[in-house]
Amino acid sequence: MSIALDEFTTVPSAWTRRHLLDMESLTAEEIRLILDAAVHFKEATGGCKQKISVLQNKTLANLFFENSTRTRTSFSLAMRRLGGDTVDFSASGSSLSKGETFIDTAKNIEAMNVDVVCVRHSTPGTPKLLAENLECSVINAGDGPHEHPTQGLLDMMTIREHRGRLDGLTVALIGDIAHSRTARSNIWGLKKLGAHVILCGPSTLVSPLWEHLGVEISYNLDEILPRCDVLNLLRIQFERQSTRPFPSVREYALLYAMNRQRLARAKKDILILAPGPINRGVEVTADVADGSHSVILDQVTNGLAVRMAVLWLVCGTCES
């Protein structure tokens, strides 16, 4: 579905959602609508550099209960690019430490005429809980290992931007699938738009049970590499693991890191993505991360465009 620039004041009738909680429940048409809107916002703002005042008098509250650099900054900047205001919340030093419940804290912030709450929390389902208890819109900015829908969308936008399509491409997600919310959002979105998805990593982090989602499972990067159009290199999330899932970081890098030698055996136009933060020398070597096949910084820019599109859609739906 295409959206003309002069239609920015009216949300398409095909979009009826007040919240963005996951990729699993989105239809293929809704995903394409968000991606198309993100492209238009990127073009209308000169690559997300300029303001387009379509959300004046709207306010976004960032409720981040986990550390974040890219996502938190991206949501705040996206709201300001749209002419809105932002409120930042930090769990440390808040009334939560005085015994106030999570819901009461959120309701008090909402009562300051907040239109959208963007929440990141270590507990899966937290955005859904807020959506059930607040009147304003809720956007999931990452809930534990469950989902990170805007990350999935920006990954898809970046692939489509460079390849012109997603249908028929082979996209491999490499690394810590078990603890990755990005992996889950990518799987739902990529499958719905026709990509073939391969999950690859150590057997301790890639369960064969994932096959029921219609994805291919592999434990050998070198075997699947020649077939891949895109590699999305997921960070090993040591902070979510009680025990190390492989003998050493050196061994992991030997088996799964994208390096110059592997790049030479890949397709000539292969794309290298990483949701960040990247661990240079673990998931990817510095020369590949900074090389011509890498679109890692494009992902960051496109994240701004995707979040502008999502904020516009959910705010417009609230008004209607």
pLDDT per residue over 155-166, tens digit each?
999 999 999 999
Give residue for tokens 């055996």: 265
Of residues 208 and 249, more confidently modeled: 208
* Percentage, residues of the chain above pLDDT 70: 92
pLDDT per residue over 11-36, tens digit each?
898 999 999 999 999 999 999 999 99
Q: Which long-range contacts (CB under 8 A, 24 or more apart) does 139-144 make?
A: 139/19, 139/20, 139/75, 139/310, 139/311, 139/314, 140/20, 140/21, 140/22, 141/62, 141/64, 141/68, 141/71, 141/72, 141/75, 142/66, 142/68, 142/71, 142/181, 143/119, 143/181, 144/181
* Percentage, residues of the chain above pLDDT 90: 81
Mean pLDDT of the chain: 92
| Confidence at residue 37, expressed as pLDDT on a 0 to 100 scale | 96
> pLDDT tier at 89 (50, 70, 90 boundaries)?
confident
pLDDT per residue over 279-320, tens digit each?
899 999 999 999 999 999 999 999 999 999 999 999 987 654
Q: pTM for the full model?
A: 0.93
Lowest mean per-residue pLDDT among 80-84, 145-149, 243-247, 291-295: 243-247
- What is the b/e burial string over 121-158, where b = at least 16 CB atoms within 10 angstroms of the residue's CB? beeeebbbbbbeebebbbbbbbbbbbbbbbbbbbbbbb
- Using CA atoms of 63, 66, 70, 74 in order, give the dihedral in degrees to the nearest 10: -10
CA angle 83, 114, 153 (to 5 degrees): 65
